[in-house]
Amino acid sequence: MAEMSDVFFVDGMRTPFGRAGEKGMYWNTRADDLVVKAIIGLMERNGDVPKDRIDDVAIAATSQTGDQGLTLGRTAAILAGLPMTVPGLAVERMCAGAMTSVTTMGASIGVGMYDLALAGGVEHMGRHPIGANADPNPRFVAEKLVDPGALNMGVTAERIHDRFPHLTKERADRFGMASQHKAQAAYEAGKFQPDLVSVAIKDAEGAWGLATEDEGRRPETTLEGLASLKTPFRPHGRVTAGTSSPLTDGATISLLAGSDAVKEFGLTPKMRMVSFAFAGVQPEIMGIGPIPSTEKALKKAGLTIDDIGLFELNEAFAIQVISLLDHFGIADDDPRVNPWGGAIALGHPLAASGVRLMIQLAAHFAERPDVRYGLTAMCVGLGQGGSVIWENPFFDGKKKRK
C-alpha cells in the first residue's frame, strides 16, 4: 500500500533568460528546445537518479501552441532522451504554470503515487505573445464578468496604485532600481551561474553563439532615469518599464522526490515542501493575488508570516510586490525579500518563473542555516495568486552571525 510521504525539492536548473522579440538571443531558438536543454542539464547534474525511475514530467506554458504546444511534458521528455516509459503532461496556469507543475507533482509524491518527478515551465514570449491565439468568450464583456482591461497586466498594476495611494511611484521606482542592483551584485558574486544551463543560439546572420547569462539586466539603473520613463499603460500613470518585468524567453526545470527515493538514491534535498495554496481575486486587480494565497498556505502550515525567514516573490511589477509586503507589515527594502533581485532585472518568462523562484530560494537556504522557512509566491493573470512554503533541510537553529 502506498503511504504518505514528505516532498523534497532535490534540485533545479534553468536556461539563461533572454529578451523576447527579434533582438533577443532566443529569437531563432525553439521553445521546446529550451526546456529540453534544461532537462538534460538537470539530469546530467543528478546522474545518480535513473532516468527510467522518473514517474512523470510536468511542463507548463501559457500559450500552448506552436513549438510550446503538443503535450510539452511528454514531447520534452522524449527529446531530452528520457526512456519512452516516462510519461508527461502539460500545465497551464498563466504565470504560475511552473509553480503548479511543482505543486501537482508534489501532491502526487505526497500521497505516495510517485517517487520522482520533473516539474518546470517554458515561455517563448517572442514567438508567442500572451493571449495572441486566445479567443475570450464574449460573455466576459457582455455580462460584465471581467473588465476588458483585466487582460492587460500593466493596467491591473496601475489599479493597485489606485487602490493604495500610499504605495507611491517613487517607492515602486526605488524597488525596481534595487532589483537591478541586487541582481548585478549576485552575478558578480557568482550566485546565479551554478544553476544556469548554457544554450547554443544562432543569430540572424546564422552565426552560432552561447547563451550563458540573463540578457535583460540593466545594472546602470538610477532613480533619476526611472523617474523620466513613460507610463505606457495610462497617461500620467505610475507603472513604467523600469518597474515592470520585461517580456522574456526561458525555461526552468526541477527534480522532486519522496522520502523513499531520497533514501534509495542517496539524494541531498535542497528544500522540503511544507504547504501550498492558490487563491482567486478580482481579475482587474490580479496583483494582490499572492496575499490570500500566502494567508492560505500559512494557515495550512500552522505558521505565521513572522516564521518566514526568506521571501522569493515574483516581480511581475514592483507595485505588486510592495502591496504584499505592505499587507504583511514588511518594509520595501527588507533584506529577507529577493536578496538577489527578481524578475524586474532577470525577466519573467510567464509559465517558467515559479521554478526560478524556487531555485533561488534553495540557493539561499544552502547559505542560511539560520533560516528555517521560506516562501515562493507570485501573482497570476486573470486574478489569482500562488504560494508555496518550504523548509530548509540545513536549518541548525542558530542565529545568524553579524
Phi–psi pair at 240, nearest 5 degrees: -125, 175
Q: How far is it between the farthest Cα atoms of the chain? A: 63
E strand residue ranges, 139-206: 199-202
21 with 219: CB under 8 angstroms? no
72 with 80: CB under 8 angstroms? no
379 belongs to the catalytic site: yes
The cell numbers describing 156, all together, are 491591473
166 belongs to the catalytic site: no
Amino acid at 279: A
Q: For residues 11 and 43, give the distance between their C-alpha atoms in angstroms, rounded to a whole number.
A: 10
Instruction: Indicate the burial class of 263 (C-beta count within 10 angstroms; 0-12, 13-18, 19 or more).
Output: exposed
Please state, as a whole number, how many other Cβ atoms lie within 10 Å of the Cβ of residue 195. 19
Q: For residues 299 and 106, give the distance between their C-alpha atoms in angstroms, rounded to a whole number.
A: 19
Q: For residues 8 and 302, give the distance between their C-alpha atoms in angstroms, rounded to a whole number.
A: 19
Residue for cell digits 529569437? 27
Q: Point out the catalytic residue in the list 95, 124, 128, 364.
A: 95
286 with 323: CB under 8 angstroms? no
- Rounded to whole angstroms, what are the CA distances from 216 to 176, 190, 246? 13, 17, 7
95 belongs to the catalytic site: yes
Phi–psi pair at 152, nearest 5 degrees: -105, 105
Q: Point out the catalytic residue in the list 124, 161, 348, 364.
A: 348
Q: For residues 189 and 281, give the distance between their C-alpha atoms in angstroms, rounded to a whole number.
A: 39
Q: Which of the residues are catalytic? A: 95, 348, 379
